[in-house]
Amino acid sequence: MPDVEMTPELRRALLAWYDAERRELPWRGTRDPYRVLLSEVLLQQTRVDQALPYYRCFLARFPTVEALAAAGEEEVLEVWQGAGYYARARRLRQLALRVAREGWPQNREGLLELPGVGPYTAAAVASIAFGEPVAAVDGNVRRVLARVHAEPDPKPAWLERVAGAWLEPARPGDWNQALMELGARVCTPRSPNCAACPLAGLCRARAAPERYPAPKKRRAVNEARWALVLRAPGGVVLERRADGELAGLWGVPMGPGTAPPQAALARYGAGAVEAAGTVRHAFSHRRLVVHVFTGRAARGGEDPGGRPLSELDRKLLRAAGFE
């Protein structure tokens, strides 16, 4: 079946809808690549209402890319606390260090060379901040294109071709955001509001929009962990995590399995420990069940309020009665 043609009249209709209906968000109306990039990084795995306070807080501490480059990793992670996906914050700081030295690349290809910038983010920043006529395809745009074409399994190459053919080169940043906004607010995953859609007249899936695109099959992996919440003379025993999703953050000792081995207890000078329940936490496609144990350590300890902690570690401290 041939692609649905995006006519000049339909382009004008979608942009008119966007101009009238778009949400007023703090990263809209700016062509500052730092602010555009920060919003895109936060929105990769976070809803708009959740991202807003982190966006404002991050800019209040690091108002420019130079300010971010001048900050230490631990300071950046502290401000990022609660936003999750901490590798994004570490890569954002690495990007800032490079941009502070070399300046901003002015197009998608150059942006792709920056740490942590993938094809979608590069296209979004290039079109919004620099006006490059390049299509940006996120999950919302993917859904809109799949439904208009009644395509159950839209492949990346197909999406790139169709999105490129639809692009309005005179307003590429607004066009990309218009399609994203349409998917976020009208062409939603469930119960889409087809009556309010400016593209409804050409949508091949209007009779059964929720069939498109077909849902991806994902299987979460369940993993067991133990965690030690040890009270010590200085507060609670914390250590800096060296790898994984929480690398760079601080947290209580933790390891694989349902109970800490004797070697772990000896390492922290802990005596007998008691089970304090379990905590469940999801990391993308991994689901952790953490068995929490409490006890006392003979040395060390500090105030957890003075370190950047993940939401998982905050849950573990609460489960152990340590606020």
Active-site amino acid positions: 40
Q: Looking at residue 293, what DSSP letter applies? A: E
CB atoms < 10 A from the CB of 25, how many? 15
What is the spatial distance between Cα 44 and Cα 284, in angstroms, rounded to a whole number?
12
Do residues 116 and 94 make contact, with C-beta atoms less than 8 angstroms apart?
yes
Nearest to 148, CA basis, from 187, 181, 109, 121: 187
Residue 131 CA to residue 136 CA, distance in Å, equals 12
Query: 281-291 burial by CB neighbour count: b if 16+ within 10 A, else e?
Result: bebeeeebebb
User: What is the 3 state secondary structure string of 87-156?
Assistant: HHHHHHHHHHHHHHHHCCCCCHHHHCCCCCCCHHHHHHHHHHHHCCCCCCCCHHHHHHHHHHHCCCCCCH
Contact between 89 and 83 (Cβ < 8 Å): yes
Across-strand partners of 295?
Answer: 230
**At a CB cut-off of 8 Å and minimum separation 6, what does 155 contact?**
none
Write the single-letter amino acid at 119.
P
Phi, psi (rounded to 5 degrees) for 254? -150, 150
The C-alpha atoms of residue 69 and residue 96 are separated, in whole angstroms, by 5
